[in-house]
Amino acid sequence: MGKSGSTLARVITATMLVAGLIASLSSQSAGAEDLATIKSRAQSVADQVTELERRAQGLAGRKAKLDDRIVDLSGEIGALESKIGDIGRELADAQDIYIERAIEAYKSGAAGTELDALLAAETMSEFISIAEINSVATSVDLQRLQELESARADIEEAQADLDGRKQEEIEARAEIEVLGAQLRTTLDDRRASLRQLAAEVKELEQQVRRDAQIAQPSGTHPPSSAIATKDIPAGYVSTGVSFGGVASWYGPGFAGNSTANGEIYDPMGLTAASKELPFNTLLFVKYQGRGVVVRINDRGPYVGDRIIDLSQGAAETVGMSGIGWIDATIVVRR
């Protein structure tokens, strides 16, 4: 989209909020102020919604990373549990071997055999402590027991560390879920406020259009000076909505034809055609320092990315003989 196309897109977005304001009527200044206030509030709320949505996306990203991390930790913990199980089985086998040797030594009457104490041991640590003072097994058997028990202790410690980290991740995830729920509540509230503001704009639009129909019967032309001015002429006030783009003009060959709103086209009248702006929109159109107020009463142009088609009279007033870049401001009568 060209420069004029993107500019017009912004104008179209703005006019969705101010469509009621730009219909011409004699008592528009109060409506312009009301709508400007609503527009300002709507922009503020829209900014809040944007920020809240950005934060919601950030929280969702953090939650997804935590979910992935919890899955990874669960996998690591599961692998350690498997290792602990393997070592436990090896340790039980080594303990059985040691007990067999102790039983054989006890039967042979070997001195220093504390078989009863070995069999009464409740934990592996207690068993190894007794074995260390027992003389019935070789040092290799005892060393095997000690190595396996040490390995199991190390893995259990690593597993406990992973369990702690996993719990921290789960707690962080739960906190994010609470924050996310609070944020969604706030976001729903802001969106509801935005919808309410849109409803107020629509109501004001309807009121302005009713006033416009009373103040200006269909087919009549608002008074407008055919003298070009540098600034918005007296009797009009800016709505604050402005845009620029390429404009053209039309006149010869169209005189006496019906315009899109049902009027009879007057080439020398101060009017213009637009594809999007509502009929009876008043524009202060400025070309190379010369400006004039025109009224939208037709549709077009449909050539390239031109945004407005001035009447012959309007084009001559601002000194535009072909196509040219214009700056336009939506105005209303005081």
CA distance 230 to 160: 79
HSE at residue 286, side-chain half, CA atoms within 13 A, is 16
Q: Which pLDDT score is estimated for 315? A: 93
CB 244 within 8 A of CB 326: yes
pLDDT attached to residue 32 = 52
Q: Report CA-CA distances (Å) from 259 to 30, 36, 105, 255, 292.
A: 30, 31, 119, 10, 20
pLDDT interval class at 271 (50, 70, 90):
very high
Lowest mean pLDDT of 15-29, 132-146, 312-326, name the range: 15-29
Least confident span in 14-28, 57-71, 205-219: 14-28
Least confident range from 47-51, 126-130, 238-242, 275-279: namely 126-130
Contact status, residue 250 vs residue 312, Cβ threshold 8 Å: yes
- CA 266 to CA 219: how far, in whole Å? 12
Q: What's residue 152's pLDDT? A: 81
Report the chain's terminal Cα–Cα distance, integer Å: 36
| pLDDT surpasses 70 at 305 | yes
> What gap in Å lies between CA 148 and CA 210, rounded to an integer?
91
Domains of the chain with CATH codes: 3-24+219-333 (2.40.40.10), 28-215 (1.10.287.2610)
pLDDT recorded at residue 256: 85
Q: Which residue has the higher pLDDT, 53 or 285?
A: 285
Determine the pLDDT at residue 298.
95
Which H, E and C letters describe the chain, residue by residue? CCHHHHHHHHHHHHHHHHCCCCECCCCHHHHHHHHHHHHHHHHHHHHHHHHHHHHHHHHHHHHHHHHHHHHHHHHHHHHHHHHHHHHHHHHHHHHHHHHHHHHHHHHCCCCCCCHHHHHHCCCHHHHHHHHHCCCCCCHHHHHHHHHHHHHHHHHHHHHHHHHHHHHHHHHHHHHHHHHHHHHHHHHHHHHHHHHHHHHHHHHHHHHHHHHHHHHCCCCCCCCCCCCCECCCCCCEEEEEEEEEEEEEEECCCCCCCECCCCCECCCCCCEEECCCCCCCEEEEEEECCEEEEEEEEECCCCCCCCCEEEEHHHHHHHCCCCCEEEEEEEEEEC
Average pLDDT across the chain, whole number: 77
* Tokens coding 210: 């009713």
The greatest distance separating any two alpha carbons of the chain, rounded to the nearest whole angstrom, comes to 133
What is the torsional sign of CA 22, 24, 25, 26? positive
Contact 311, 271 (CB under 8 A): yes
φ and ψ at 39, to 5 degrees? -60, -40
> Cα–chain-centroid distance for residue 130?
67
Distance of CA 234 to the CA centre of its chain: 43
Task: Quickly state the pLDDT bin for 5 (edges 50, 70, 90).
Answer: very low
Alpha carbon 308 to chain centroid distance? 34
Task: Evaluate if residue 219 carries a pLDDT over 60.
Answer: no
pLDDT tens per residue across span 69-102: 888 888 888 888 888 888 878 878 877 877 777 7
pLDDT tens digits, 118-162 = 777 777 777 777 777 665 555 667 777 778 888 888 888 888 888
Give the best-scoring range by mean pLDDT among 55-69, 92-106, 191-205, 306-320: 306-320
Task: Please indicate whether residue 236 or residue 130 has the higher confidence score (pLDDT).
Answer: 236
Q: Which residues of 158-191 are buried (b: 16+ CB within 10 A; e: fewer)?
A: ebeebeeebeebeeebeebeeebeebeeebeebb
Residues facing 286 on adjacent strands: 291, 327
**pTM for this entry:** 0.42
pLDDT score of 293: 95
Q: Please indicate whether residue 165 or residue 108 has the higher confidence score (pLDDT).
A: 165
φ/ψ of 283, rounded to 5, equals: -125, 135
- Give the model's confidence band at 260: pLDDT under 50 very low, under 70 low, under 90 confident, else very high: very high
